[in-house]
Amino acid sequence: MTPERFSHLLSAVEPYLKIRQDRGRTAISAEERLVITLRYLATGDSMASQTFNFRVGRATVSNIIREICDSIWTALNKKYLRLPSSESEWMTIAEKFENDWNVPHAIGAVDGKHIAIECPKFGGSMYYNYKGFHSTVLMAICDASYSFVWTSIGSYGRDNDSAIFGASSFFKRADFGTLKLPPPSVVGGQQLPYVLLGDDIFPLKTWLIKPYGGNNLTDEEEVANYRTSRGRPTIENTFGVMAARWRIFRRPIRANIETVDQITKAVICLHNYLMQTDNAHYIPSGFVDSWSNAEFKEEEWRSVV
């Protein structure tokens, strides 16, 4: 981020910090606390490394990171991580999907990401996933511009994406019809609803579609799969950009589950904040995947990750 963006972030976070002035020594400033936390999240180095870099006690670094992550979430989530609350807001997302990805009536792409952690104390097998490591699951929906629209944080690594999403508040609201989605409209002579784009593991709903399975597909089914496959990589790219820029996710996080959840929440807010305010620095040209002449082109974030 630019220095100006850092100053703006500091001004947003500082009111939520509680810095105590002790007798005989100067308290660590809000600016240095934010720098310590951002460096920890962006480099993926251990808390012990930050102790040596900033000449601050290890327990102090741990407390600072938890405090700043919590303050970042409090300061940014309501403005930069907000579920659309009206038909017009959902329509804006759908128009962006159609213009950028040639997918009509898409209101987002949904998927889960396993965040690697060290085995929690008394965690047993709850956090051990099918990929062979301990994790907690981030379930998320993104828009066409790689920003998170909705997230669910902290599910057990052993649970599959369908079960996690099915138990979420978003799923229940969508089933009850309280999300204020736009009504179906005509596309190419057919009445089509507004839908999420998911992969094979998710259930088929009137508001969620996934690719047709099997080998003997009709031409119409092949075209439908091609269209949805153009939009679904947005969520993969969103997770990829987040992991490339915030390297804390590149190795197992050594912290208790509550701290891991705080870190994840803070990074999600920082990702959306920078995507929406400092996009040119955060994801320069050629950093995210793209479609060119009906061919999918993998870009820089994949080599970084």
The reported pLDDT for the residue numbered 296 is 78
Confidence of residue 23 (pLDDT cuts 50, 70, 90): low
Confidence of residue 47 (pLDDT cuts 50, 70, 90): confident
pLDDT per position as a tens digit, 58-101: 899 999 999 999 999 999 999 999 999 999 999 999 999 999 88
Tell me: pLDDT of 20 over 80.
no
Lowest mean pLDDT among 10-19, 148-157, 256-265: 10-19
The reported pLDDT for the residue numbered 276 is 92
CATH code that applies to domain 3-79: 1.10.10
Percent of the chain residues past pLDDT 70, beyond the cut? 98
Contact 205, 174 (CB under 8 A): yes
Tell me: pLDDT of 264 over 90.
yes
pLDDT per position as a tens digit, 279-301: 888 888 888 887 776 677 788 88
The reported pLDDT for the residue numbered 112 is 95
What's the predicted TM-score (pTM) here? 0.92
Tell me: pLDDT of 260 over 90.
yes
Q: 272-275 — which CB contacts under 8 Å span 24+ positions? A: 272/76, 272/80, 272/81, 272/147, 272/148, 273/9, 273/76, 273/80, 274/1, 274/5, 274/245, 275/145, 275/146, 275/147
pLDDT per position as a tens digit, 141-192: 999 999 999 999 999 999 999 999 999 999 999 999 999 999 999 888 888 9
Strand partners, 115: 136
Q: Where are the domains of the chain?
A: 3-79, 82-254
The reported pLDDT for the residue numbered 188 is 80
The reported pLDDT for the residue numbered 12 is 94
Average pLDDT, the chain: 90
The reported pLDDT for the residue numbered 22 is 66
pLDDT per position as a tens digit, 190-230: 889 999 999 989 999 999 999 888 888 888 888 888 888 88
